[in-house]
Amino acid sequence: MKHPTYSFGSLPAYLLLAGLLPHTASAQTTVAPAGADRATVSMTQTEAKEELIQLEKVVVTSAKRALEAYKVPFNVSVFTEDALREYNITDIKRLMAESESINAPLSGARFADNVTVRGLNTGNANANNLEQFVRSTLSYYLDDSPLPNIGFRIKDIARAETLIGPQGTLYGAGALGGTIRYITNQPRFGKFEGRATSTVSETKHGGLSFDTDTVVNVPLAPNLALRVSLSRLDEAGFTDRVVQRPWAPTPAWIGTPNAGQQRYEEDDWQKVTGGRATLRWKATPTLTVTLSHAEQAQDAHGTSGTQLFPIARNPEPGAPTPLATREVFNEHTIISPNEEYADRRIRMGTLDFDWDLGFARLHSSTGDYADRKTGQADYTAAGNTYYNFISSRLNINNAAFNGRPAFITFDNYNRGLVHETRLSSKDATGPISWIAGLFTTKTQRSLRFSEYVPGLDVAGTNFVVADPTRRNNEGYRENLQSDYQEQALFGEANFRVSRRWNLTAGLRSFSYEDDGLSNIRDYTGPTSRLTLRTESQKGRTYFKLNSSYQVTDQLLGYATFSQGYRRGGANGFRDYAGKVVSPQARAYEPDSVDNLEGGVKGYLLNGDLYVQAAVYEMQWKNPQVGFSQTIDDLFPINGLVNGGDIRSRGSEVAFRYRITQNWSINYKTSTTSARYIERRVVPLYTAPSGEDLVTTAGLATWGAPKWKHFAGLRFSAPLRKGLQLTASLRVRYVDKLQWSNNAASLYPAYTKYDANVGLYHNKWDLSLWVDNLTNDRALVSNNAGTSQSGQLGSRAIYLAPITIGTTVSYRW
């Protein structure tokens, strides 16, 4: 099959020439100095660029104290504002892709993804339309406020911290495998300044994309400052959408949103508008108050991918799996009669107090957030499976078909109020330091989706159940709600045994109550039910123990035992055909992780070589595993149960070496292996039925490659008149990955190259960057169930094609 020839003709030549100069970031990189959690300090561009090379020297607050990253006795990595821009990291998915320990399918902006950390995962590594099927082993924070997930783009962020390993004592529920934190830039007193940045890029097969952001810092009084940031992304698509299957032109299908249109070009576009305003007031020499409000509107449209033939239609017989067949059209076209999109609106407000009490520092943070995501996805194949028995007019393969395939809609809502107050000791000279705090949260969650079958009201008059709440042509509705409350006390104490040896002990004790509602309305079948259930735990406690030894002033060794946990909940399984659902299936318990880890981090060879290495063994107790109840041999009810324990073992190594004053190399790698170590049978019903979940000892988990490697070569040199030149080449290798519980479901290994070159000055930056330099076409995800792959063929999702962009930034 001949593919279109790619040309960058639409990208102006002057932008390409300008881009032969490096990509650098803003004039200031914000870090927290010792003794402050969220203060900002000014840096020269030279200092910022030196810090970009030596990210391990950045001061982080991952341990709720200000420490340089290389002195934190667990695995923590950090990207400063400059590094985020140079690596072209603009959202959470790109950030996770740069981690050697975290894996998530690169499915595109519209989808929700299961996240795997150090092999901890039991969900499929593919594209999910519905958040009901997504489970993460990470927790997410914006400054000091936890979020269900981070939808905010990375704009005006001082640094992004990634904490690997369970963080339950300091970061609470959800931190099974680790925590990701965005630390925002704070207003600066006494200085009017700002920055404007604009990026123009083009992806193969797509159009021009524009990404612009502006930041202004305004001193309103000597002790009062305002910081405002605004951003806008207009991302062009590169995947076309076709309405009709070419091998079955009849019966004709009618597409949406335009009935007469059969092809939609560059359909996978995205538009995002966001902003944040922060007011900082130094009320007294010892008290600072910070008020912040952030909002973002995201419209993610279409699906990036390639349509593959169903196995039965493949021109080359013998394909072993649905993802091994040939392309139907070309590498950038899918089949979807229905428009697909996800519109997301996020709002978050925070109020923070920082108070020096003399004997200790008090930090209090209160956050209120709302996150709503609505959208639509194609349901042609699955809708045909579930509804074609009603009438030939609803059968996509029948000549009498009405021409309008099924689709689904979803409406997900998360709302929460969170508060944390903590005290931390000030005296750094004594043998004991400590942190003590309390945390409380109240959250509401609603996950809704509906199946719509155009023509159902007419064709299914003898099947559709009368219900005043039912919408036109709605065949099924699911609403999973949760009202959750949690209170926790936490603390850590550090004892300096000697000048070089430190011991740390921590704990977190929490209680929670979760009122769950599962409301299923099956308007044509037998699965309707309403389930109300309250789950609660009181006084549950998790611990942390850490011993660290300063081998030299620049080299730290550590050993740690840490725990993380995730809350439980209720299922919507129903008693059926005289069988009673078992207690083990009605609800799922919290799961937890015990982590044993040893590591070393620091400098050798007079500071030219930085090394960080860790080995770990993690035991995942009562992991929450996906499970479904089947009604009438066809209709599924999805839920979670606690499977057998899992053990994960692995190692992580990273180093950076300064070859000369101008040249440096870096490398990081990880390997992991996770398997069930316990056979467990979870009965669906109280009486034997053969419908049980069975986890088998020795069975490998999925979602993570055995190996990941990252390497980079960087050049930096001063030029005349205060100019600085930088250039870098980076390579990432990801081993083959099993993406489901089927051992034959594999994504092949791949290698990806990125590069940038740029020039910066005191007031401006100019750069050219290239993502996927060799245009590697690697399979990284898919969007296809059994019905989809059989009727329309699978949607294979590959690495985004080569993208060339240029960025200019100006500061004042």
pLDDT at 10 over 80: no
* pLDDT bracket for residue 428 (50, 70, 90): low
Give the tens place of pLDDT for each residue, 434-459: 999 999 999 999 999 999 999 999 99
* pLDDT bracket for residue 786 (50, 70, 90): low
Return d(Cα 120, Cα 116) in angstroms, integer. 5
Those residues with Cβ within 8 angstroms of residue 63's Cβ, 6 or more apart along the chain or in another chain = 72, 170, 492
- Residue 17: other Cβ atoms inside 10 A: 11
pLDDT at 53 over 90: no
Range of the domain at 39: 13-811
Return d(Cα 720, Cα 420) in angstroms, integer. 50
In a domain, 508, yes or no: yes
* Structure confidence at residue 342 (pLDDT): 97
Minimal CA–CA distance to 176: which of 139, 134, 146? 139
Return d(Cα 213, Cα 208) in angstroms, integer. 17
User: Across residues 258-275, what is the average pLDDT?
Assistant: 97
Helices (H), 164-207: 168-171
Q: Is the C-alpha dihedral spanning 371, 372, 377, 382 positive or negative? A: positive
DSSP symbol at 453: -
In a domain, 177, yes or no: yes
Q: How many helices (H) and strands (E) does the chain have?
A: 9, 45
Structural contact between residues 213 and 197, judged by C-beta atoms closer than 8 angstroms: yes
- Tokens for 328? 């139907």
* pLDDT bracket for residue 54 (50, 70, 90): low
User: Across residues 700-725, what is the average pLDDT?
Assistant: 94
* Structure confidence at residue 52 (pLDDT): 53
* Most confidently modeled range among 110-119, 177-186, 624-633: 177-186
- Tokens for 201? 């890029």
| 546-668-700 Cα angle (round to 5) | 75
Give the tens place of pLDDT for each residue, 135-153: 888 899 999 999 888 889 9
pTM summary value: 0.89
DSSP reduced 3-state for 255: coil
In a domain, 801, yes or no: yes
Which phi and psi angles does 603 have, rounded to 5°? Answer: -110, 145
* Structure confidence at residue 772 (pLDDT): 97
Average pLDDT, the chain: 89
CATH number of residue 318's parent domain: 2.40.170.20
Instruction: Indicate the residue type of 150.
Output: I
In a domain, 5, yes or no: no
Rounded percentage of the chain residues whose pLDDT exceeds 90: 70
In a domain, 2, yes or no: no
- Residue 113: other Cβ atoms inside 10 A: 24
* Between 689 and 200, residue with greater pLDDT: 200
Paired with 779 in beta bridges are: 798
* Structure confidence at residue 336 (pLDDT): 96
3-state secondary structure 13-82: HHHHHHCCCCCCCCCCCCCCCCCCCCCCCCCCHHHHHHHHHCHHHCEECCCCCCEEHHHCCCCEEEEEHH
pLDDT at 9 over 70: no
User: Across residues 97-116, what is the average pLDDT?
Assistant: 91
* pLDDT bracket for residue 20 (50, 70, 90): very low
* Structure confidence at residue 130 (pLDDT): 86
In a domain, 552, yes or no: yes
In a domain, 6, yes or no: no
Structural contact between residues 298 and 344, judged by C-beta atoms closer than 8 angstroms: yes
- Domains of the chain: total: 1
In a domain, 7, yes or no: no
* Structure confidence at residue 742 (pLDDT): 86
Whole-Å CA distances, 783 to 85, 308, 585: 30, 11, 28
> Order of strands, edge to edge, in the sheet holding 76-80?
76-80, 157-164, 178-184, 138-142, 145-147
User: Across residues 152-164, what is the average pLDDT?
Assistant: 94
Those residues with Cβ within 8 angstroms of residue 326's Cβ, 6 or more apart along the chain or in another chain = 1, 308, 309, 314, 315, 316
Q: Which residue has the tokens 């070496």?
A: 657
Structural contact between residues 527 and 519, judged by C-beta atoms closer than 8 angstroms: no
- Secondary structure element (H or E) that encloses residue 583, with its range: helix 583-586
- Rounded to 10 degrees, what is the CA torsion of 731, 736, 738, 743? 180
pLDDT at 62 over 80: no
Radius of gyration over every alpha carbon of the chain, rounded to an integer in angstroms: 27
pLDDT at 495 over 70: yes
pLDDT at 501 over 50: yes
pLDDT at 8 over 70: no
* Between 44 and 106, residue with greater pLDDT: 106
Helices (H), 347-483: 380-387, 456-459
> Cα 224 to the chain's mean position, in Å?
35
| 145-147-152 Cα angle (round to 5) | 100
